[in-house]
Structure 1
Amino acid sequence: MSSETAATTKRQRPVIAIDGPAGAGKSTLAAHLARRFGFLNLETGAMYRALAYKAIQSDLDFDEEAPLLALSGHTKIELEPQREGNRVLLDGFDVSARIRDADVTAAASRISVHPRLRAWMVAQQRQLGVMGGVVMEGRDIGTAVFPDAEVKIFLDADPEVRGSRRYRQSAPAAQQKVTEEAVLAELKARDARDRNRAESPLRPAEDAIVLDSTAMTLEEVLARSEEIVLQHLPAQA
């Protein structure tokens, strides 16, 4: 489906787009808003992780686009929204837990820079949200996937804050294997890849509301985001 088709398709319900860098808290915010307004929570990053996991299983080079694109041609990724988060199915198998591991996350960041692979993924994501009534979070929802989304929030925070949050949220066993400094270094490297890639670089949409959570508590972020949604969708109150 082209961007023009996506923009002209009549949706039954609105789309809430949440973009931002790694570790900004997009998943937590998306889950909250989906519950608050009765929408589906579709985590598009999980789709990249699922394909990256299959690439790991297939022993593919993450920097070579052609084999990855060929792999996508016989790959089926499904998201089944649950109250506690998405259930991710890869070719019919539940990979929800495995795709959260560090090796898959790192691989997903590398494969996501490929233009043709992103185009394939964007088409899948548009199909998931074509009728609306969804909260979609990722890196380019408001700029590439749904540039006509009714609500666009760009959630950001200083890298040091995001890195610290990500480290503190990791399991104790994981903290024993990697330092907070290493987590921050990987996050900054991912920021650089996301912001400088040729296809759909990470940036706020022109009409997005930028929410900097550096000095905000989680409760403040959730409350402010609800206000933003209600300002754009008064009928959803």
Structure 2
Amino acid sequence: MIVTIDGVAASGKSSVASGVARHLGIPYVSSGLLYRAATLLALEAGTDLSDAPALLALLGAAPLRLEPLPEGNRVVLTSTAALHPERDLTADAHTSAVDAGVSAVAQLPEVREWVNAQLRALTPPFVAEGRDMGTAVFPQAQAKFFLMASPRVRALRRVKERPGDLAEVEAALVARDAKDKAQSAPAADAQIIDTGTLDLAGVIAAVLRGLHQPASSDLS
């Protein structure tokens, strides 16, 4: 079984996917963590975020490993012996600098295909979260969900996670929504959940209910 949970930035995809996966007793997969790690490596190397060949060369020289662990996903820069030791990139991939650059990286078709290939190599069952899991990556998924909320609600959630000016965070989310629009459209057979009035437990419960309902229904 594959369950996909897509949605806009800061809509709670990772937390919801983790909760649903724990309830089902299967792993969850964070596609965004691979994009974030790729962005982090590019920023550290001074690589142009719009240069797809350079990014792919960087990823080839510094392979990433996504680990869908029960307690949460980790992304690790694998060891290449003489070049560098193995390094956990998970924490460093969640910074404002990465937030600002990840959309540019995720828009590159070549990088998207690289990420998608890593995800398709994983063995089901799992819950996959991201932007286009139910459309481009796992169109065959048995259950698909799309999370949405207003920019203000998402900004409030984000500043609770890490310090930041609410107005600036909200403006950044609006800008990112525009950049991510092509990748963030829900699948035609996805169930849409507006998370604005729900807490985390409520969204997880809505997804679990949705697993037993027909697709293309709105849940709240």
Matched-pair contact (CA < 8 Å) for 2:17–2:28: yes
Q: What TM-score, normalized to structure 2?
A: 0.89
Given that 2:11 and 2:149 are in contact with CA atoms closer than 8 Å, whether structure 1 keeps it comes out as yes
The one-letter amino acid paired with 1:148 is Q
- Distance in 2, Cα, partners of 1:219 & 1:151: 19
**Alignment deviations for residues 79-99 of structure 1 (CA, whole Å, 9 cap, x no partner):** 223333112211232111111
Partner of 1:142: 134
2:79 is the counterpart of 1:67: no
Q: Point out where structure 1 has 5 or more consecutive residues left out of the alignment.
A: 1-13, 233-237
Aligned with 1:80: secondary structure? strand
For residues 193 and 68 of structure 2, the distance between their equivalents in structure 1, rounded to whole angstroms, comes to 25
* In structure 1, C-alpha distance between the alignment counterparts of 2:187 and 2:146, rounded to whole Å: 8
Look up the match of 1:40.
27
Q: How many positions carry a matched residue from both structures? A: 207
C-alpha displacement at 1:231, in angstroms? 4.1
Q: Percent identity?
A: 39
Q: TM-score scaled by structure 1?
A: 0.83
Partner residue in 1 for 2:114? 120
1:219 paired to 2:166? no
Which of the residues 204, 209, 213 maps onto 2:191? 209
- Deviation (angstroms), 1:48: 0.6
Name the structure 2 match of 1:9. Answer: none
Q: Which residue of 1 aligns with 2:40?
A: 53
* SS in structure 1 of the partner of residue 11 of structure 2: coil
Q: What is the CA distance between 1:127 and its match in structure 2?
A: 0.8
Determine the structure 1 residue equivalent to 2:181. 195
The structure where helix makes up a greater share of residues is 1
Per-residue deviation, residues 108-161 of structure 1 (Å, max 9, x unmatched): 222111111111111111112xx3111110001000010110110001111111
Q: Compute the RMSD of aligned alpha carbons.
A: 1.5
Letter in 1 for 2:171: A
Which 5+ residue runs of structure 2 have no aligned equivalent?
A: 79-85, 215-220
**1:42-191 matches, cutoff 5 A:** 42-91=29-78, 92-128=86-122, 131-170=123-162, 175=163, 178-191=164-177
